[in-house]
Amino acid sequence: MTHYLNFINNQWVAADNGASYRVTNPATEETVGQVSAASAAQALAAVDAAAAAQRGWRKLTSIARGDHLRAFADALVARKAAIGQALALESGKSLEDAENEAVYAADITRYHAEWARRIEGEIIPSDTPGENLMLHREPMGVVACLIPFNYPVYTLLRKIAPALITGNTVVVRPSNHTPCSAFEIAQAVLDAGLPPGVVNILAMGHAEAEVLCTHPKVAMITLTGSVGAGQRVLDYSRVNIAKVSLELGGKTPAIVAADADLEKAANDIVRSKTTHCGQLCTAVERVYVQEAVFEALVAKLKEKLSAHAYGNRSAQSQHMGPLVSASARQGIHAMVERAVQAGAQLECGGSVPSGPGYFYPPTLLTQVRQDMEIVQEEVFGPVLCVLPYTTLDHALALANDHQFGLASVLYTEDYRSVMQAGNEIEAGELYINRTPADPYQGYHAGWKRSGLGGDDGKHGMLEFTQTRLVVMKY
């Protein structure tokens, strides 16, 4: 069992109060690591180190920062076995998936390195003769990055790569469920030769996270997490008027028209629902099916979900893995039970298996109503609700009748339906004849309670900048 220390100013630092906690494998409930818990004083020290480093980091040419990011990406790939091993043990993912996540994180790092020569300002006509208006894109300063448990390696680089290329430095707080992989990434920071203080990674509790996020030198807070976590971050941001970027909950609707390829739709939806046990903010959670094909699609979904094996992925990588914790499983099962009590039909799943590990079977519910909790609240687990619709107008009204607006899906061969949905869906993303995958050259941004700001692509990179207007009289 590895004991991980915190990473401040390119140094490994033990908790100054001796505090630590154990990390559990959700597939076996065994302890797989021990992590030093940073104190409030150490959180402050990390911000001070990042602020000091940022003064030099921002003065580097952007192409020099890009060279550092490319070296960092190479170091991530070189360490993919160590990163993947830590991630697989702490998350219940297969080793193959965990290593692939490290490679994908390196890919997005290289992508952001390519922006080095493309961070553009503007020249704007002035109303005054003999004068130019020049708009510059400048770094924010120190960015606090709060990382979720579900894709902790990829999301960590999804945040720090655009932050670094634009001249910021970062203090990272990984999820307490999955901190070990973050510290393996910290070793890649050293291997790549990034300057001290540019990247700092600390495990900490909520009180220490508040100290971090309310530090006057923190100019921006970026979070991927729940709506509740986002609300806390908004409270933190009020203290110093820090900029926020929040990627919060989702409840992806999939609309399946009568002319859709039902076999493909069923396979895609089941894959979306069972990947990482449904712990993905863009996973399909509610399916609206045109009445003419409702029974046919339900039959296919029931067959495929019932046959989908689950269990320890270190033994069988094709299995669906565990939920993150016992409390997560308890909460999901309680939601399913309340739905059944309210009249939903349980087609498959819906039971808590015996034995070690926080497993939950793929679960399918029909005869649900739009106003039910199971339809209106994010489950974040392998539970799927299916409802019928009549017309596309009806389907869009149901899909849009929701607090969340992150991703959405439409299966149809009719271009008119595609165009209408593209104009009327109330979500940041619409996928046609496929389920969400967050291409990193796109823009991943939620509507409604799904967030503020966004990640990925040019617009995600520019979230980490602020503008300066220079008015030059000549």
251-293 pLDDT, tens per residue?
999 999 999 999 999 999 999 999 999 999 999 999 999 999 9
The residues that are catalytic are: 247, 281
Residue 28, CA distances (Å) to 51, 186, 250, 322 in order: 41, 26, 28, 9
CATH code of domain 2-248+450-473: 3.40.605.10
Class of domain 252-440: alpha beta
Confidence band (pLDDT; 50, 70, 90) for 1?
confident
Is 404:251 a contact under the CB 8 Å cutoff? yes
Indicate if the pLDDT at residue 65 is higher than 80: yes
pLDDT reported for residue 451: 94
pLDDT, mean of residues 63-75: 98
Q: Which tens digits make up the pLDDT trace of 99-135?
A: 999 999 999 999 999 999 999 999 999 999 999 999 9
Strands (E), 14-102: 20-24, 31-36
Confidence band (pLDDT; 50, 70, 90) for 191?
very high
Is 200:171 a contact under the CB 8 Å cutoff? yes
The residue ranges of every structural domain in the chain are 2-248+450-473, 252-440
Tokens of 326: 């016992």
Indicate if the pLDDT at residue 423 is higher than 90: yes
pLDDT reported for residue 438: 87
How many CB atoms neighbour CB 37 within 10 A? 19
Indicate if the pLDDT at residue 317 is higher than 90: no
**How many CA atoms, within 13 angstroms, populate the side-chain half-sphere of residue 48?**
6
- In the predicted model, what is the mean pLDDT of the chain? 96
Confidence band (pLDDT; 50, 70, 90) for 315?
confident
pLDDT, mean of residues 205-219: 96
Tokens of 280: 């993905």
Q: Comparing C-alpha atoms, which of 168, 134, 235, 248 is closest to residue 463?
A: 168
Indicate if the pLDDT at residue 316 is higher than 90: no
Whether the pTM exceeds 0.85: the reply is: yes
